[in-house]
Amino acid sequence: MRILLVEDDPDLGPAIAKALRQEQCVVDLIADGVDAAHLGDTERYDAAVLDLGMPGKDGVTILTEWRAAGRTLPVLILTARDGWSDKVAGFRAGADDFLTKPFRIEELTMRLRALVRRAAGHAATRIVCGPLVFEAQTGQFELDGLPLRLTALEWRVLSALMLAKEAVIERLDLLERVYQGDADVGSNSLEVIIGRLRKKIGATLIETVRGRGYRLTAGAAT
Amino acid sequence: MLALSALATIVALVIAGALIAGVLGRFVTQGIDRRLDANLALMASAVSRNGDIDWQRLATVQASLDAEPGWRWRLDAPGRAIGSADTLVIDPGPAESRRSSPFPPDREHPGSAGPPHADDHGARPLEGHDRAGAPIHARQTTMVTGTGPVVLTAAAPRDVIARPVMSALTPLLATLAALGTVLGLAAWLQIRLGLRPIRRLRAVIEQVRRGEADAIDTDQPVELRALAEELNALVHDNDMALATARASAANLAHALKTPVATLALELAGDPRAGQVDRIDATIRHHLARARAQVASTRVATPLAPAIDVLIATIATLRSDRAITIGATVSPALIVGIDPADLDELVGNLIDNAVRHARTHVHIVAQPTDRRVALTIVDDGPGIPAAERDNATAPGVRLDERTDGHGFGLAIARDLTELHGGVLTLADGVDGGLAVSVTLPLARRH
């Protein structure tokens, strides 16, 4: 998952980013409202975590502008303001979820996974593709009913493909969802990861769409 | 105060009466004195320079001297005395009164012309009584003659002075008494009428305090207009202070919660994380209480839209719970609670119900006379009757990370009681809980 994290607190922002990265998310941490609004407009994220009190531009304004511009990016508001009026105002502005500080990282991860899953059009938490089963809330993969062991990078690629099931993910999108910033790609190039995944789940499930990207499909497997 | 002013009026009237009686008495006495002095002059005209009495002359003037009953005269010459039948007992007049002579100045100079030969001291007033004991007023003068001093005395009954004074004073006192009564009534009426705008102002202030009016009408008598404007300014300042207090509470929450959130993340999995949870619970508890203690009542908030948006919000927040939330709330209901307080109160109750329900939650609003009973029913495990009193006690289950019924219910109860309502717990559907709060209906303006 590629997450836009908008949080101006110099301690909390990096702490959340670190925790989310441990949960296999790719996180862009932004501490300024204007920059955040711009990134949300131009980059492709799976979800945004938005603090309400921001320098430059406050969270509700950013959200209102995104929604007015037709951006469907799932947004979770993360705020210290825990009054019901604040929550109502957040939802009115177009928020998809609301979490008050302090919170547990597990809860934030769960809520983000649910947001991304629903945004991808999956109502159920269990996503099936041929012999492959993905528990979207816990992040567990099963192949033919047995747990599938994956490295972090493999998991990032396969979960993105699973959520986008049957749809093509462009190569660039996939890269952005897999690599955190200036991470050393080196021997772990996307092609290498795809190759390793094909060895684990069978060569036919991941289809290369020439000139565009990849897609996960059960059609070829059956 | 009215009694005091009445007493003052009475005292003033009594003093006025006494003063007028004194002045009248002096006037009447002066008149009588002039007549007595005239009698003295008549008597003097019957005394010759050498002290002989002109009997013929005396007989002529005697008719004048005895003209009125009770009037007396007396002539004491050396060796003989003549006068009215009864003897007079004369007190010696006060020393200073000898100086004040009622005679016009020219009468005091016998050398000019004319018969009376009064001495330089002139006539002096005397008080005494006759044989029967009736008080008399007398004038006395001494003539110096060749044979010695001749003392002339003319007297009139004191009664002659007192009677006209009394007859003049009686209608005067009656008039004064009537005047006093009218003045008292006028004062009473003036106070009542004068205080009427103040009573009206007091009633309007009470309406403002109870939330029935937003501000005091400044269309007041000139004297009260400034007061009404000042009161409006005070109400406005109060509102501002309330808003500031709320903003401060929210700012405090924000300021504290972000570092607490950082601590919570960094201590995840650490045994010390429990302390962070306690800090968070304490902040939440006290901030919610602070908010609940500054509720404003001078507002009108439509109930149905507030509940609808809360249901939508909570349904999204708790989408993992798959609970259906229904509501039966008349769109006509308007409650006298600040929108933020209403959100907090009802939001906590609905959220509580959704978290504990198995399949559905229902909200019903039932208007009564001046209140509306809002009931939130769930089909969850409920709270055993024996523990219900405990459930709304502040601090219950505060130590738990996922706060139970307690926290939300305690806040809802505080807010309800702040608006003069009560929160009651009863059995819901299939053993669930039914929470009922009575909210004030907004007054029509």
B58: tokens are 């005396």
Chain A / chain B CB contacts < 8 angstroms: 89
Burial A30-53 (b: 16+ CB within 10 A, else e): bbebeebbeebeeeebbbbbbbbb
Three-class SS of residue A140?
Answer: strand
ipTM beyond cut 0.90: no
Looking at the complex, report in whole angstroms how far the Cα of residue B390 sits from the nearest Cα belonging to chain A: 24
| Residue B420 CB partners (closer than 8 Å, separation 6+) | B440
List CB contacts of B418: < 8 A, sequence separation 6 or more: B292, B293, B295, B341
Please give the Cα distance from B382 to B377 (Å, whole number): 10
Number of other residues whose CB lies within 10 A of the CB of residue B32:
20
Residue A115 has pLDDT above 60, yes or no: yes
The one-letter code for the residue type at B167 is S
Hunting for tokens 């309800």 — which residue is that? B416
Task: Give dist(CA A140, CA B245) in Å, integer.
Answer: 48
Q: Whole-angstrom Cα distance, residue B316 to residue A118?
A: 12
Q: CA-CA-CA-CA torsion for A10, A12, A17, A23, nearest 10 degrees?
A: 170
- The verdict on a CB contact (< 8 Å) between B268 and A19 is yes
pLDDT of res. B325: 94
Which of A87, A100, A102 is facing B313, going by the closest CB pair? A87
pLDDT at A204: 85
Distance CA(A179)–CA(A25), nearest Å, equals 9
Q: Write down the pLDDT at residue B109.
A: 40
Q: What integer is the mean pLDDT of A100-124? A: 89
Specify the 3-state DSSP secondary structure of B194: helix
pLDDT in tens, A164-191: 888 899 888 888 888 876 555 665 688 8
The answer to whether the CB atoms of A80 and B258 lie below 8 A apart is: yes
Out of A92, A97, A102, closest to residue B261 by CB: A102
Lookup: tokens for A65: 């502008």
Contact by Cβ (8 Å): A162, A129: yes
CA-CA distance, B210 to B204, in Å (whole number)?
A: 10
Nearest CA in chain A to B260: A102
Distance (Å, whole) CA B198 – CA A126: 74
Look at residues B242, B236, B352 and name the one whose alpha carbon lies nearest to residue B292: B242
Residue of A nearest to B251 (CA): A81
Q: Which residues is B152 bridged to in the sheet?
A: B75, B141
- Give the closest-approach CA distance of A12 to chain B in angstroms: 5
Cβ neighbours of B155 (radius 10 Å) = 26
DSSP annotation of B442? P
Residue A63 pLDDT: 94
- CA dihedral (B160, B165, B171, B175) in degrees, to 10, reads 180
CB-CB neighbours of B265 under 10 Å: 23
Across the interface, do B262 and A88 touch by the CB < 8 Å criterion? no
Interface of A with B (CB under 8 A): 9, 11-12, 15-16, 19, 53, 79-85, 87-88, 91-92, 96-98, 100-105, 114
List phi, psi (to 5°) of A45.
Answer: -115, 155
Q: Do B347 and A84 touch (CB under 8 A)?
A: yes
**Cβ–Cβ gap B268/A97 under 8 Å:** no
Closest partner CB to A85 (pick from B254, B319, B344) = B344
Give the mutation candidate from A5, A7, A12 for the B interface (greatest B CB count, under 10 A).
Answer: A12
Listing DSSP states for A169-194 in one string gives EEHHHHHHHH--TT---GGG-HHHHH
How far B347 CA sits from the closest chain A CA (Å)? 6
**The dihedral formed by the CA atoms of B207, B210, B214 and B216, expressed in degrees to the nearest 10:** 30
For residue A211, the SS3 value is: coil
CB contact under 8 A, B266 and A12: no
Which residue among A9, A12, A114 places its CB closest to the CB of B320? A114
Q: Do B265 and A12 touch (CB under 8 A)?
A: yes
Give chain B positions within 8 Å (CB) of A97: 316-317
Find chain A residues with C-beta within 8 A of B299's C-beta: none
Tell how far CA B62 is from the center of its chain: 72
Cα B368 to Cα B373: distance, rounded to the nearest angstrom: 7
Chosen for mutation from B248, B258, B309, B338 (greatest number of chain A CBs closer than 10 Å) is B258
Tens of pLDDT, residue by residue, chain B (445 residues):
777 877 887 888 888 888 888 888 888 888 888 888 888 888 888 888 777 888 888 888 887 887 777 788 888 887 777 877 655 666 554 443 333 334 433 333 433 333 444 444 578 888 887 777 788 888 888 888 888 888 888 888 888 888 888 888 888 888 888 888 898 899 889 989 888 888 988 988 888 877 667 788 888 888 888 888 998 999 889 888 887 887 787 778 778 888 888 888 888 888 888 888 888 888 877 777 676 665 565 678 899 999 999 999 998 888 878 899 999 999 989 998 888 889 989 999 999 899 889 999 999 999 988 899 999 999 988 888 777 777 666 554 433 434 455 567 888 888 888 888 889 888 887 788 899 999 988 865 4
**Cβ separation B254–A80 shorter than 8 A:** yes
- Chain B residue whose CA is closest to A99: B317
User: What are the chain B neighbours of A91 within 8 Å (beta carbons)?
Assistant: 309, 312-313, 316
* Six token digits for residue B120: 């330089």
Please state, in angstroms and as integers, the Cα–Cα distance from residue B323 to each residue in A116, B318, B353, B379, following that order. Answer: 21, 8, 10, 10
Retrieve residue B278's tokens. Answer: 């306690």
Distances (CA, A) of A41 to A18, A59, A118, B320: 24, 14, 21, 29
Residues 6+ apart with CB under 8 A from B330: B304, B365, B367
- The secondary element (H helix, E strand) that includes residue B284 is helix B273-292
Tell me the shortest Cα–Cα distance from A123 to chain B, in angstroms: 11
pTM of this structure: 0.63
Distance from the Cα of residue B362 to its chain's centroid: 55
